A = this chain, B = another copy of it.
């Protein structure tokens, strides 16, 4: 059971103390305290773990300092949607809202290679009105003999260039806890010109130790990619490792499943799960069409499969798009064949816009009909 306390409740307030005291008298019930700092207010949640079946929801709602009480199932305890669950399905970071009703494009470099390419990318994003990007500094590669990313060496210029061009959030994969420290240090050293969304990739979806550590920090929101060979359920449980550590600012990313039935695409596109994740949890959902499709083929009407897949995600309500661009894909060190050209960005964004408007119309239609019934 989760008790959501009144906003901005003071831990020194008498009602807070009374509540804690009362809960400590409950037998076989453990208490975990989670605090979520939002832009306008701080929220405190009390998670009651153990024999909560014996507690009446109504009684708990009436305790001092309690605003809501939510009975949670064992499934996705924190991030899940539960019956009568009024908890937020969004969070704010760097002045931007990331939620189940918003849409952000994170176009950028799969792997940082040169400062020149980073700058050209950032400038193009700024010129096209973008505030987010993706930049890979730490690259997990199948073979130990492949390029592994420039690591912390590239962070200072990546962050500075982001700041120069007004990019507010960079999605960046980390594969080891030390990378979070390195990112922190580089941000400090460069004066925090931008923000970072930590990305956990598909190979580490069940690297629970990394999830625990990343979940314990609350500075950076986290984008958790689905594991490419496990069930959706197992990946959603992995997200709970982040949340149970304390960090509820989690976005869930779909990036295709590893099976040859998706051929000729690199992976089996799984964006059908966009509405499923939004229904089962409170997480915004990101799609990664670049890694799902993995090639630059196009349909007979001249539209790239990659744009079609992006549209499939958006028309079903996706909230974030991670997409690879590169000034010269043929020279990219990682995944060049799937990268879009910088000059294709305006078309990409316009295509996204058309589909997003259609989604919003579909949403309005459904609400209209629902009210009519």
Contact = CB atoms under 8 A, between A and B. Distances in A.
Nearest to A262: B272
A158 interface: no
A230 interface: yes
A18 interface: no
B260 A77 contact: no
A89 B208 contact: no
A294 to B, nearest CB: 11
Given A272-B262, A298-B275, A362-B354, A209 B370 contact: no
B300 A81 contact: yes
Copy count, this protein chain: 4
Contacts of A241: 144
A242 B175 CA distance: 16
Interface residues of A, number: 88
Contact of A203 (B208, B308, B367): B208
The winner among A206, A264, A367 for most chain B CB atoms within 10 A is: A206
A162 to B, nearest CB: 25
Contacts of A240: 143-145
A166 interface: no
A213 to B, nearest CB: 9
B272 A299 contact: no
Contacts of A141: 208
Contacts of A234: 142
Contacts of A258: 229-231
A275 B264 CA distance: 11
14 contacts: A141-B208, A207-B210, A227-B229, A259-B261, A271-B272, A275-B300, A299-B316, A299-B317, A301-B317, A302-B370, A308-B317, A311-B315, A311-B358, A315-B315
